[in-house]
Structure 1
Amino acid sequence: MSSLRVVEICAGAGGQALGLELAGFEHALAVELDPMAAETLKLNRPKWDVRVGDVADPAVWDPEQFRDVDLLAGGVPCPPFSIAGKQLGANDERDLFAWAVELCGIMRPRALMLENVRGLSAPRFSAYRQHVLDRLNELGYVADWRLLHASDYGVPQLRPRFVLVALREEDAPYFIWPEASPVGRTVGEELVDLMAANGWKHASHWAGRANKIAPTIVGGSKKHGGADLGPTRAKRAWRDMGVDGLGVADAAPSADAPEDHDPKLTVEMVARLQGWDEKKWHFAGRKTSKYRQIGNAFPPPVARAIGRQIVAALNHEGEPRVHTEAVAHDEVYRVLRAATDPLTIAEIFERIDGSLTLEEIELRLKHLMRDFNMQPIDSESGEPAYKLGDFRAFIGQDDHVRHEYLAQMRSKVS
């Protein structure tokens, strides 16, 4: 059987790449904006074709040259959807999710896999998700979203990620999401040998304190300073496990560190908690850059679990499932999309058979107006009416504000 080929965009330091490789994919191309993360890819896989630069820049790569690749995958920027941010969605200049979906119309991959933060699963982005599903359906794909937790796939941290998988209609019946297999090791069990590397005699005692699953490791961005283990709540959780979250250490505790010492994690420790074998995958750059690359990555074991299921689907393994209608993420969006004339809230309520209250419809409309060009207009009844306009997201437009933003902020984008 010939190997399956993947093109990976926004590849980062290779968490998803390694997982997909272990699942059976061969990289035809990897594209990454951050030079140091790209250097990490080259360091570990020198034979790969790694392109450095803006993934949407035609001077960096030509999607047409990779038509009919088996898988298009990527971890597109998460700030547009992050709960910790402004959740600007399609209005965020960094948003590449919709652009990646449009690539399916150019490249015609057999499968698409995109991962992002949990925030994309929130009600705020229900219309955005519905637009993605409907657009993929127009392009001939069957798509589904799923919220997955890294701790269910062999990684000792929570790390929820929202994943989109889409396949061509002939392959989709063979895809099933990977079954959860909860982690059997805690932070203490995973790191006790690294904590004892310099002879710390209390490492076993520390491991007993750290007998838990870690909170989500946060890599941060170039814009917000150095390495630490996340916001206040996360640091508190780390402290309860005997870990100082205010930075990353250069080395494991010394042999004479006291029993009540709360050590900081090293880069190697963070890599292991992300599912990497720190002895087999090496990171380029200085400590903060390494930590940022690791913390922002998709854990390899999770990518491998999903990748294996995509491989099985592409090989038509098992019995095909009967296709069922995809879950509707936003009925208000679907009603407006099908309407030829503007609709009032009362008319929308009638067309969705009362599945949402009038107040819920009004809130959905507010969300829609953030991602689509639409403003209320006066109707004959005097009530405001709504008509769905164009999607505001970047999908490759030459005049989109994203180009100006990237030109001005290139050094701070990560």
Structure 2
Amino acid sequence: MGSAGRTLKVLEICAGAGGQALGLERAGFEHELLVELDANAVGTLRHNRPHWEVIEGDVADPAVWDPSDHKGEIALLAGGVPCPPFTIAGKQLGAGDERDLFAWAVEQVKIVQPRALLLENVRGLSMPRFAGYRQHVLDRLREFGYAAEWRVLNASDYGVPQLRPRFVLIAMASDDFAYFHWPETIGRPPTVGEVLFPLMSANGWHGADAWAAKTNRIAPTIVGGSKKHGGADLGPSRAKKAWGEMGVDGWALANAAPVGGDVFDIGPRLTCEMVARLQGWDDEEFFWEFTGKKTTRYRQIGNAFPPPVAKVLGIAIAAALNRTTEPRERDPDTMHDAIYRILRDRDDFMTITQINKAVDSPLEAHELERRISVLGRDFHIEVHQDGKKPLAYKLGGFKAFLGQEDHIRHEKFKKEIGRIS
């Protein structure tokens, strides 16, 4: 409940199959609305929580829902917007990827005016490639009156038997944010063998004890994959090799646990239920049932935010909103991209020499040019040369989709909708 006795309501976008939703529910939040594109994930949400209002469709389509309908009513705007634009294994197209909704989600803060924002994505968004993108996000939130911080959280630090690093953005009004503390880690997570032994031995497999003893580590990051490639397997070659060293055949999923005297060249395959356990679902606090065929169930599970991590974040956010913690001194805002800031604050063109004089730590000319080139992947950069004078640069608009009716995202999205996940 809020400090005034009100329920903390959450509006969740790109809700997936409910990993984040379940965790936030366990933290005490009440769902006002969930919006999700994938029909299979929507089926799972409605199967598990028939009383939730779940809308199926493109979250950025005004015909699907209207964010302004919820203005001032929401404690938390949350979501796990698509990861492929930022994933290290992908092309890292960022603002140029039709699936990118991160910047759009940030713009909804101005419309919905939630008390807090929670967005999570892959660790790739924390890399230098996206420094300018992150700086733009923080600057926009500041313009809206919110303080914000990013942090990489590993699911294994919160009881999940899997590394699974996620890049998390939390934002609140400054007065509330003073009471926000990132959740404390909770110690050693259980191993794959400890978590999966009950399921692996359920059909009387004689090798279950030896297998559980061998799988005495946490799992590699579960990769659900996208509709653009592949079926139900445990990820790229490097991940499959790591699974193989643990005694798991990562090339496909099984329909059921092994039986009796089954013998394997590499080891048994995991079932969808086993993968769900490795994501933090269980038969008690985080019980959940996934609907659909095996491949669609696996994608729902593999692309989810682990419920235990969502829960500890939800508890920390609720504590800040309710001001049940001690206030803290916030660190000065981290500068993610000083060059972006310098160009953003100037209306005219700047040469490399001028930019270098404006930064705290001067860089070699070739490094500055490289950094500007990287910025150019997410922002329009105007280049000017007057006679023999050196090149000069000016920052143009952000390439990301923010809700513009004429953005190229619409055409790309319509063309790729059957393969977007």
In 2, the alpha carbon distance for the partners of 1:177 and 1:408 equals: 40
In 2, the alpha carbon distance for the partners of 1:234 and 1:265 equals: 14
**In the superposition, relative to structure 1, how do residues 191 and 339 fare at CA in structure 2: closer, same or farther (>3 Å)?**
same
User: What is the match of residue 31 of structure 1?
Assistant: 35
**In the superposition, relative to structure 1, how do residues 94 and 360 fare at CA in structure 2: closer, same or farther (>3 Å)?**
same
User: What is the match of residue 397 of structure 1?
Assistant: 404
Unaligned 5+ residue runs, structure 2? none
Matched letter for residue 331 of structure 1: A
User: What is the match of residue 232 of structure 1?
Assistant: 237
In 2, the alpha carbon distance for the partners of 1:217 and 1:119 equals: 16
In 2, the alpha carbon distance for the partners of 1:356 and 1:299 equals: 41
Q: Is 1:45–2:69 an aligned residue pair? A: no
Matched letter for residue 142 of structure 1: A
Matched letter for residue 411 of structure 1: G
User: What is the match of residue 22 of structure 2?
Assistant: 18
Offset of residue 13 of structure 1: 0.2
Q: In the TM superposition, what whole-angstrom CA distance separates every residue of 1:320-361 from its partner, at most 9, and x where no partner exists?
A: 123432100000001111112211111111111325443332
Query: What TM-score comes out, normalization by structure 2 length?
Result: 0.96
User: What is the match of residue 197 of structure 2?
Assistant: 192
Runs of 4+ in structure 1 displaced over 4 angstroms?
A: none
Conserved in 2, the CA contact under 8 Å of 1:344 and 1:379?
no
Matched letter for residue 164 of structure 1: L
Q: Is 1:388–2:395 an aligned residue pair? A: yes
SS at match of 1:36: helix
Conserved in 2, the CA contact under 8 Å of 1:13 and 1:293?
yes
In 1, the alpha carbon distance for the partners of 2:264 and 2:85 equals: 43
Q: Is 1:333–2:337 an aligned residue pair? A: no
Conserved in 1, the CA contact under 8 Å of 2:244 and 2:266?
no
Conserved in 2, the CA contact under 8 Å of 1:369 and 1:375?
no
In 2, the alpha carbon distance for the partners of 1:260 and 1:389 equals: 57
In 2, the alpha carbon distance for the partners of 1:278 and 1:34 equals: 25
SS at match of 1:346: helix
SS at match of 2:152: strand
User: What is the match of residue 214 of structure 2?
Assistant: 209
Matched letter for residue 188 of structure 1: G
In 1, the alpha carbon distance for the partners of 2:81 and 2:264 equals: 43
Conserved in 1, the CA contact under 8 Å of 2:106 and 2:137?
yes
Matched letter for residue 296 of structure 2: S
SS at match of 2:108: helix
In 1, the alpha carbon distance for the partners of 2:416 and 2:96 equals: 16
Q: Is 1:285–2:292 an aligned residue pair? A: yes
User: What is the match of residue 252 of structure 2?
Assistant: 247
Q: Structure 1 stretch 373-382 or stretch 246-255: which is displaced more? A: 373-382
RMSD between aligned residues:
1.4
Conserved in 1, the CA contact under 8 Å of 2:206 and 2:259?
no
Matched letter for residue 70 of structure 2: F
Q: Structure 1 stretch 124-133 or stretch 278-287: which is displaced more? A: 278-287
Conserved in 2, the CA contact under 8 Å of 1:271 and 1:278?
no
User: What is the match of residue 321 of structure 1?
Assistant: 328
In 2, the alpha carbon distance for the partners of 1:21 and 1:107 equals: 20
**In the superposition, relative to structure 1, how do residues 261 and 95 fare at CA in structure 2: closer, same or farther (>3 Å)?**
closer
Unaligned 5+ residue runs, structure 1? none
SS at match of 2:376: helix
User: What is the match of residue 170 of structure 2?
Assistant: 165
Matched letter for residue 410 of structure 1: I
Query: What TM-score comes out, normalization by structure 1 length?
Result: 0.97
SS at match of 1:376: strand
Offset of residue 387 of structure 1: 0.7
Q: In the TM superposition, what whole-angstrom CA distance separates every residue of 1:144-179 from its partner, at most 9, and x where no partner exists?
A: 100111111110111110010000122110011111
Q: Which residue of 64, 69, 80 maps to 1:75? A: 80
SS at match of 1:375: strand
Matched letter for residue 303 of structure 2: N
Offset of residue 278 of structure 1: 5.1
Matched letter for residue 19 of structure 1: G
SS at match of 1:390: strand
Matched letter for residue 42 of structure 1: R
